[in-house]
Amino acid sequence: MTEITAPKSPISAEQFADEIREQLKYTQGVTEQQATDADVYVAAASAVRRHLMDAWMQTQQDMINGDTKAVGYLSAEFLMGKQLSNALLNVGLTEQFEEAVKNLGHDPQNVIDAEYEPGLGNGGLGRLAACFIDSLASLGVPAFGYGIQYKYGIFKQEFDEEGKQVETPDYWLENEEPWGHIDYGRSQRVNFGGEVVEENGKRVWKPSWAVRAVPVDYMVPGYKSGRVNTLRLWTSKSYDEFDLLTFNKSEYLDAVRPQVVAENISKILYPEDSTPQGKALRLEQQYFFVSASIHDAIRVFYPGQDKPDLTTFPQKINFQLNDTHPVIGIPELMRVLIDEYGYDWDTAWSITSKTFNYTCHTLLPEALEVWSADLIGALLPRHLEIIKKINDQFVKELAAQGVDKKQIERMRIYTDGKDASVRMAYLATYGGSHVNGVAELHSQLLKDVTLKDFSDAYPDKFTNVTNGVTPRRFVRMANPRMSDLITEGLGTDAWMSDLEKLQGLVPLADDAEFVKKFAEVKQANKRAFVDFAKRKYGFEINADTMFNTMVKRLHEYKRQSLKILAVISTYADIKSGKLDVDSIVPRTVFFGAKSAPGYAMAKETIQLINNVSRVVNNDPATKGKLSVYFPWNYNIELAENLIPATDLDEQISQAGKEASGTGNMKFALNGALTVGTLDGANVEIRERVGAENFFLFGMTVDEVDALYAADYDHGGSRRYYEEDPRLKQAIDMVADGTFSEGDKKTYENLVNDWLTHDYFMTLADFGAYMDIQDEIESTYRDPMKWARMAVLNVANSGYFSSDRSIEDYLERIWHTGPLA
């Protein structure tokens, strides 16, 4: 097998070892002999940063001096994963690192493991932002990621004895963090509160408090592009570090209060996905990072200018709004242009509406943020005035277009009355140039349902950009064995920056030798995962079983409950003797999922899965042929280890609910087959890999709608329970205490919901889901057939590279490209 040819950097392993020694001695003050794995990690990271420094500076200069428009990716979340391996790969030092670290007497894997994974995101939306900035840098496009450096990322998940989720704080900055560079000189003032007064015929905001936004800069190295972009994450600090007057009165706690309040803003990532909470602190966070970023961009692109010509701003940078979270940026840029730089309304509007674009990442109406006008008024009174004025202009514009009154009422950005509120998705749609969904089906549903009125009034604004994932992290780094085989098969590693090249593997699906090697790689990955899971979780997993995985946030619409009910049904059949355990395909089912801390139904599902795992894994009746594992604290590291080892991936959301999914892409690219519904990007994956290489089941969007129309969610589900004995048996087993040591109350809410409501139609899809399992089993019994299908999944999934997504954004939305 040919070795992967990492891009060679001009230095040798020996030189790299010397650089690590130098860091250890002169920066960290430890001798080579004393150095722990963690010390070597910090030293290696610092050395890598130094290697990137020239390219980073050059990229910034070229961006400021050239005339290539930049992209500002505004996102409340960046779920980056560990940085060291990725940086080594992109800068071409992977091999030197391994040799150098061995020479220093350390195991490279232990050094890599010493990095603490930052969890500055909830799930798909945050990870997409991380993939996108990797692709932007790899394509050489000048770009900033702008976000928040939360002190506490997504909570760490543990399970208690009863199998319940327990959340503990994730203080990721506990140890030295070598990647972020804090740059006090680029701080920005961010104001809040107060009132707006009339002065010389002008509206003037008199804020009542302010915080200092301090940027922490992360380098974003492109793969083989020689370009290094910037991820600028803001952290909040107080201006009044110490209120001396109060302190002199010896009221110590009061004296530090302003500091505590200010630092609260970037203290914690909200762990809710899907359902926003209208909390003041959340709005403060949003305004905090967006205001700082806008001012930062003006300073970057008009350095040292007191009176910059900001009519050119949209030619300098376009801001992408990653969901509604940064949408307050629209009134903020209006305010900056009018109040701070003296532009008239129309000029300001022309600049603003050309600067922003909006990506929607959801289909759940409850996930579209709506802020109470009172809250915005109290925190940002001038912005509320501007929003009202935008709304007035909008309403007039619609009336002039002949839109009827009723429709205009439905579309209002600002709704009057007692519960006056601001709809951020509508503000974003009106205030920006383009709106996009994240998969074909999702973009279509946005136009047809969620934002239909807007699509009727502004059809040209709407477009689609199907999501993608970075092949560097999720193929090359996560799956080196398969990557080597691909490189061998294609005779080049150019696929890593042009993933459509994987198409070249299609003929190899008929090469028995190649398919056999492919199956061996999968088996080796499974054994490697068994070792990893033993070390990390103490699990004893049998690698000679089908690895069947469902990893994603825990949400009812994603339907982890469908999967666990299917497992329970099989278990029940084994117990009752209906199913001969020796006749089934041995299977290991993996779950990974965090639930929002306040989401009761999701938490009950977690508890159920854990207890099914406990009961099934310990029952001699299953003879180890059916097992369930739920490694806690699902994160990027676990994804990188589990995805390459997976045979069968679950993408079983109710049709019309998952905007895209990106896990589905990672699995297909790593040679797992998918069992899935026609939802999100599953539709496009199936089109590309071929219907015959995808296990499709379940209702379509239209069938789901028809069932709602027939009042399914008001008692309709019960019929399925009564008519399908497999389903009845499984639900009864949950209800009768089998998975709660006899207690019938534990899963009461779940069971009641299934039988009376079941909004996401788990029961209605259960039969089809059980039926497809037969096809899955018989396919798996033919290992070469399965492996051939897996090869075709890999070969035809090159489209799902985030490089392609970014190319689409460049062409359809940003209209810019690489630096000259």
Which residues form the interface with ligand 26W (CB under 6 A)?
122-125, 128, 270, 272-274, 276, 323, 361-362, 367, 438, 467, 658-662, 680
Least distance between ligand 26W and beta carbon 558 (Å): 8
Q: Which residues, at least 6 apart from 750, have a Cβ–Cβ distance to it below 8 Å?
A: 561, 601, 604, 605, 608, 734
Catalytic residue among 325, 361, 434, 481: 361
Least distance between ligand 26W and beta carbon 690 (Å): 22
Annotation marks residue 94 as catalytic: no
Q: Which residues, at least 6 apart from 475, have a Cβ–Cβ distance to it below 8 Å?
A: 482, 483, 496, 669, 670
Catalytic residue among 69, 383, 473, 553: 553
* Distance between CA atoms of residues 665 and 650, nearest Å: 12
* Distance between CA atoms of residues 553 and 559, nearest Å: 10
Identity of the residue numbered 449 = V
* Distance between CA atoms of residues 263 and 614, nearest Å: 43
Least distance between ligand 26W and beta carbon 333 (Å): 23
Classify burial at 397, counting beta carbons within 10 Å of its beta carbon; exposed 0-12, middle 13-18, buried 19 or more. Answer: middle
Annotation marks residue 558 as catalytic: yes
What tokens does 530 get? Answer: 């068994």
Q: Is 598 or 725 the residue whose CB approaches ligand 26W more closely? A: 598
Least distance between ligand 26W and beta carbon 323 (Å): 5
Least distance between ligand 26W and beta carbon 524 (Å): 29
Q: Are strands 195-199 and 626-629 parallel, antiparallel or unpaired?
A: unpaired
What tokens does 561 get? Answer: 């409950």
Core vs surface per residue 679-715: b (16+ CB within 10 A) or e: bbbbbbbbebbeeebbbbbbbebebbeebeeeebeee
Q: Is 124 or 671 the residue whose CB approaches ligand 26W more closely? A: 124
Classify burial at 525, counting beta carbons within 10 Å of its beta carbon; exposed 0-12, middle 13-18, buried 19 or more. Answer: buried
Least distance between ligand 26W and beta carbon 339 (Å): 29
Sign of CA dihedral 386, 389, 395, 396: negative
Catalytic residue among 127, 227, 481, 558: 558
Annotation marks residue 779 as catalytic: no
Q: Is 348 or 422 the residue whose CB approaches ligand 26W more closely? A: 422
> According to the 3-state scheme, what is the secondary structure of 563-617?
HHHHHHHHHHHHHHCCCCHHHCCCEEEEEECCCCCCCHHHHHHHHHHHHHHHHHH
Nearest to 217 by CA among 209, 229, 226: 229
Q: Is 424 or 612 the residue whose CB approaches ligand 26W more closely? A: 424
Least distance between ligand 26W and beta carbon 122 (Å): 6
Annotation marks residue 382 as catalytic: no
Query: How many CB atoms within 10 Å of residue 46?
Result: 19
Least distance between ligand 26W and beta carbon 90 (Å): 23
What tokens does 594 get? Answer: 């965090």
Catalytic residue among 472, 657, 666, 788: 666
Least distance between ligand 26W and beta carbon 341 (Å): 32
Q: Is 180 or 663 the residue whose CB approaches ligand 26W more closely? A: 663
Partnered with residue 145 across adjacent β-strands are 73, 231
What tokens does 186 get? Answer: 């680029």
* Distance between CA atoms of residues 137 and 148, nearest Å: 20
Catalytic residue among 49, 212, 552, 587: 552
Annotation marks residue 757 as catalytic: no
Q: Are strands 156-159 and 165-168 parallel, antiparallel or unpaired?
A: antiparallel
Q: Is 42 or 428 the residue whose CB approaches ligand 26W more closely? A: 428
Q: Is 754 or 800 the residue whose CB approaches ligand 26W more closely? A: 800
Q: Is 225 or 467 the residue whose CB approaches ligand 26W more closely? A: 467
* Distance between CA atoms of residues 529 and 588, nearest Å: 12
Annotation marks residue 553 as catalytic: yes
Q: Is 92 or 121 the residue whose CB approaches ligand 26W more closely? A: 121
Q: Using CB atoms, what's the residue nearest to ligand 26W? A: 124
* Distance between CA atoms of residues 250 and 252, nearest Å: 5
**End-to-end CA, the chain:** 38
Least distance between ligand 26W and beta carbon 274 (Å): 5
Q: What is the largest CA-CA distance in the chain?
A: 87
Q: Is 357 or 467 the residue whose CB approaches ligand 26W more closely? A: 467
Least distance between ligand 26W and beta carbon 126 (Å): 7
Q: Which residues, at least 6 apart from 627, have a Cβ–Cβ distance to it below 8 Å?
A: 541, 542, 545, 587, 588, 589, 613, 616, 617
Catalytic residue among 466, 662, 674, 746: 662
Could you write out the DSSP letters of every residue in 682-731?
HHHHHHHH-GGGSEE-S--HHHHHHHHHTTIIIIITHHHHHH-HHHHHHH
Q: Which residues, at least 6 apart from 793, have a Cβ–Cβ distance to it below 8 Å?
A: 668, 669, 671, 672, 673, 674, 689, 693
* Distance between CA atoms of residues 570 and 575, nearest Å: 9
3-state secondary structure of 197: strand
Q: Is 276 or 381 the residue whose CB approaches ligand 26W more closely? A: 276
Catalytic residues: 361, 552-553, 558, 662, 666
